[in-house]
Amino acid sequence: MAIKILMTADTIGGVWQYTLDLARGLLPYGAEIALATLGAPLTKAQRAEVGELPNIDLFESTYKLVWMEDPWEDLAKAGEWLLDLAHRWRPDVIHLNDYPHGDLPWPAPVLMVGHSCVLSWWQAVHRTPPPVIWNPYRDTVTRGLAAADRVVAPSAAMLTSLERFYGPLPPSRVIPNGRRLHFDEKTPKEPLILAAGRVWDAGKNIAAVMRVAASLPWPVYVAGETRPPVSEFANVYLLGRLSSAELAPWFARAAIYALPARYEPFGLSALEAALAGCALVLGDIPSLREVWGDAALYVQPGDSRGLRAVLKALIADEMLRHNYAQRARSRATRYGLARMVGEYWNSYLELRAAPPRARRSSLSTAVESKTPSLPERGDPAWPAEGPRIAPARNAYSGNLVEILDWAEPGSGR
């Protein structure tokens, strides 16, 4: 039973890997996907990845994402482009991997996935409510979520965050992320610690591992994008930004994987490490506890002494290391790609069979009082430079990529 899906994806972060994995998994189901990209031009490698998937028709754009500086005019233009694509391509389901276009007059039911968000990142990293400059972002996300027919999050913790910051939500469910990676269990592990993610992202907290590296007997290797100036840390080796294929051998070699995150809605990098047989040392936050249970060792993200002690304990005790590696590998089997794809497929079928759209307008009405509608083109409220809800200048724009590490896969890609 073929289904046509219009799916959006940004090309900047980890949603890209998730999108490719989902599209690949949907091949046996006969799903046809119109993939509409936003955010940045595709790289040569990304274009090659799409070219390997015969069920994808690619439609490219570089419209700004909702977390970028002054995105409002681009969001409106992207909405027009997406609606035109939907009316020409005639999908059965709209799958949105970002929030701002949920309340467009779509010709098909909308499934929206909340991979991450600025407000929950800010709260986790700064331990304070987001500043008022993010109110236009909040209002836009609230409208988009409320207008969707189904909301999905990769963890119950992330779904709770969406409800906390943007509720009430439409019918929602948790579909954990999944990967299909094959590592030889007989490959010998080497005495090294691996960390992966954007080095400067306070949510990933990779810098915490780098700060304790000098006191560890094993070297620390860090895969991920850096930004000048890069401080030098003793016993730390920077690998730079790596693709999934380039990162896989490092997962296979590393005996320990460290991700003392302050914010991580799911943690695909930890899943990749677990599948490769690494012992996991993770930040003690609700989402990672939810995903990994007793299959990992946990540290408070701000506790350097505790992080150092846990890493030294694993280095010193081979049996302990082996035990936690086996626990992680066993737990990782819960998060296979086939399971994730099957749950999305069932959601698509349910949405396609549901009665049309009245439920969505009532949900949108529930939040109209606190979220003003984005002006449409031609509306007198539409100024030349974009909707009036945009702040004159986003004082945090210089840190936006730091603020939003959408990227969940390990390399911070």
Of 72 and 244, the structure prediction assigns the larger pLDDT to: 72
User: Tens digits of per-residue pLDDT, 132-190?
Assistant: 999 999 999 999 999 999 999 999 999 999 999 998 999 999 999 998 877 877 789 99
In a domain, 411, yes or no: no
Q: At 263, which CATH number?
A: 3.40.50.2000
Specify if 412 maps to a domain: no
Q: Are residues 376 and 317 in the same domain?
A: no
**Same-domain status, 81 and 151:** yes
Residues 344-368: tens digit of each pLDDT:
999 999 999 988 655 444 334 433 4
Percent of the chain beyond pLDDT 70?
86
Residue 185 inside a domain? The answer is no
pLDDT confidence band for 216 (50 / 70 / 90):
very high
Whether the per-residue pLDDT at 312 is higher than 80: the answer is yes
pLDDT of residue 5: 98
b/e 203-219 (16+ beta carbons within 10 angstroms → b): bbbbbbbbebbeebebe
Q: Identify whether 183 is part of a domain.
A: no
> Which residue among 320, 335, 350 closes a domain?
335
Contact assessment for residue 274 and residue 214, using Cβ atoms and an 8 Å cutoff:
no
Give the range among 154-163, 278-287, 389-398 with minimum mean pLDDT. Answer: 389-398
pLDDT band for position 408 (cuts 50, 70, 90): very low
Looking at the predicted structure, is the pLDDT value of residue 375 above 70? no
Q: Same domain for 108 and 241?
A: no
> Which residue type occupies 346?
N
The verdict on 112 and 210 lying in the same domain is: no
DSSP 99: S
Chain centre distance of CA 125: 16
For residue 105, tell me if it sits in a domain: yes
**Which residue, of 275, 301, 335, is where some domain finishes?**
335
The pTM score is: 0.84
* Span of 28-32, 234-238, 329-333, 399-403 with lowest mean pLDDT: 399-403
Number of separate domains in the chain: 2
End-to-end distance of the chain based on CA atoms, in angstroms?
Answer: 34
Residue 249 is assigned to a structural domain of this protein: yes
- Based on the fold, state whether residues 98 and 197 are members of the same structural domain: no
Last residue of a domain, one of 295, 317, 335: 335
- Boundaries of domain holding 243: 190-335
